[in-house]
Amino acid sequence: MTNQIGFLAVDIYNMLKDCGEVSVLTVKSKLNVSNTQVYLAIGWLLREGKLDIKKEGDDYLVKLV
C-alpha cells in the first residue's frame, strides 16, 4: 500500500505542477481515487514540505510550495 500511495503522491505533484492550485475534490475525480487515498498522498506531500493547503468552503485547495 505504501508504494501505491507514493506513486499517487507523484501523480498529484505532477498534476499540481501542470494545473497550479486545485481542490482536493478535483484531484480525487481526475485521478479516480478514494478519499482515503487522496488524503494519504496529500499528507505524504505535506510531510515532505511540497504542498500548501487551505480550507475553502467545504473543500480544501492544494498547491505546490
Which helix (H) or strand (E) segment holds residue 18: the answer is: helix 2-19
Per-domain residue ranges of the chain: 2-64
**Are the C-beta atoms of 37 and 5 separated by less than 8 Å?**
yes
Q: What integer pLDDT is reported at residue 31 of this predicted model?
A: 96
- pLDDT tens-digit map of 9-51: 999 999 999 999 999 999 999 999 999 999 999 999 999 999 9
Mean pLDDT, rounded, for 3-12: 96
pLDDT of residue 2: 83
Where are the extended beta strands (E) located within the chain? 22-23, 51-56, 59-64
pTM recorded for the entire structure = 0.92
Place of cell 501542470: 18
CATH number for the region 2-64 comes to: 1.10.10.10
